[in-house]
Structure 1
């Protein structure tokens, strides 16, 4: 169950990272509320996952999911560059996340 909590926490991290772009400095109510709810949910689920997972592993996986997901959102939705080096780096982060999961 801890890994499921961690995975959903990572998805919510993507949500709040992306949400920050749409809050316009927390001047828009709905995006701001959704972003804050995503932040709270992400932290709460990370906290639940930490009951059973090592801190270093959980934190690295959580931030990795957020990093990869946010970068992919930027590429696919916002039209950010998808150069070969950038995609290789995203792939390496993903491999690191999988490696941490397998090493646990």
Structure 2
């Protein structure tokens, strides 16, 4: 369940980052604030079961990669092969952190 919270936080991060960039009205700013609260709540819930460093690394890495992809696809950001390669490095790093942190969580549970 903790990883679902991390995934939720990363998905909602996309919306609040877009909101920070494009909000013009009070309603849009309110929606951005709600998205930030939901995202941080999900991070807090994930940190109850997973190491906070792992949660933060996965959250920021996956969120940053997703935001860059959304910029490419929907907001006509400049596309370059180097950006795509660096996004791939972030994704590989996030997968690596997730794979290694699951092992460490299982070891901690066995030790208790």
The answer for unaligned runs of 5 or more in structure 1 is none
CA RMSD of aligned residues (A): 0.9
TM-score (norm 1): 0.93
Q: Is 2:82 the partner of 1:85?
A: yes
**Going by fraction, where is helix more abundant, 1 or 2?**
2
TM-superposed deviation, 1:69: 1.1
Kept after mapping to 2: 8 A contact 1:14/1:65:
no
Give the paired residue count. Answer: 101
Match of 1:66 in 2: 63
3-state SS in 1 of match to 2:68: helix
3-state SS in 2 of match to 1:68: helix
Of the two structures, which has the highest relative contact order with CA contacts closer than 8 Å and spacing of 6 or more? 1
Q: Is 2:4 the partner of 1:7?
A: no
TM-superposed deviation, 1:30: 2.1
* Distance in structure 2 (CA, Å) of the matches to 1:74 and 1:23: 16
| Larger Rg belongs to | 2
TM-superposed deviation, 1:67: 0.3
